[in-house]
Homo-oligomer: A and B are copies of this chain.
Amino acid sequence: MGVDVDPARRSIGARRNPDSADAILEAAEAVLVEAGYAGFSIEAVARRARAGKPTIYRWWPSKAALLLEVYQRQKRVDVPDTGRLEEDLVGFLKNLFAHWRETSSGSVFRSLIAEAQSDDAASAALAGYALGRRSHTGQIIERAKARGEIGVDIDSALVADLIASFAWKHLLTNQLDEDEATIRKTVSYVMRGIAAPGK
């Protein structure tokens, strides 16, 4: 008569069926792409995964938790390493926009931002990923520092935040089809801020 997992064991001895979990996560991703965040319901995911709702609720306590795990499964975008900061940044943004456009990552990330507006867990996760040197852009800038291309006094977090902001806004306003020239000009502006002597 096993109905539910003992809540106390949920995080200890319980292990979920990998096949089933995979099917659910894949279904969640598919629903997100096809119906968008507005159509992302546990019911829809369960239907698509041919799973029962209790199965989903057993392993993911909230919509945000499921969304977060879908996000973490996403393939990462390629981070170029050309040896030149500007090329790395332009290349990264090009890759990122293409990645968001051509895979499900764009839908997933947009939904995560949306969910973060009302769910604390998603909000915290989003804040964590955006933190300075842990971000892809932050790493690119740190590398440039390491090889002496820019001064070590540059505030990587600030520059990374600016570039991430640019990417976010273009994702949220459906402007991922920016041509390379726009990306390049934008990066160039930010770069000049790095290269120019402080006022």
A interface residue numbers (CB < 8 A to B): 36-38, 110, 113-114, 116-118, 123, 126-127, 130, 155, 158-159, 161-162, 164-166, 168-170, 172-175, 182, 185-186, 188-196, 199
Contacts of A110 in B (CB 8 A): 117
Given the known interface contacts A117-B172, A118-B38, the answer about A188 and B199 at a Cβ–Cβ threshold of 8 Å is yes
Look across to chain B and name the residue whose beta carbon is closest to the beta carbon of A38: B118
In angstroms, how far is the closest chain B Cβ from the Cβ of A132? Answer: 12
Inter-chain contact B37/A173, CB cutoff 8 Å? no
Collect the chain B residues with CB atoms within 8 Å of residue A195's CB.
196
Given contacts A126-B173, A164-B169, A169-B168, contact A159 B117 (CB under 8 A): no
B155, B164, B182, B189: the one contacting A190 at CB < 8 Å is: B189
Contact residues in B for A170 (Cβ distance below 8 Å): 165
Q: Which of B113, B117, B126, B173 contacts A38 (CB 8 A)?
A: B117
> Which residues of B are found within 8 Å of A165, using beta-carbon distances?
162, 165-166, 168-170
Q: In the bound complex, what is the Cα–Cα distance between A166 and B127 (angstroms)?
A: 14
Give bound CA distance, A182 to B165, whole Å: 15
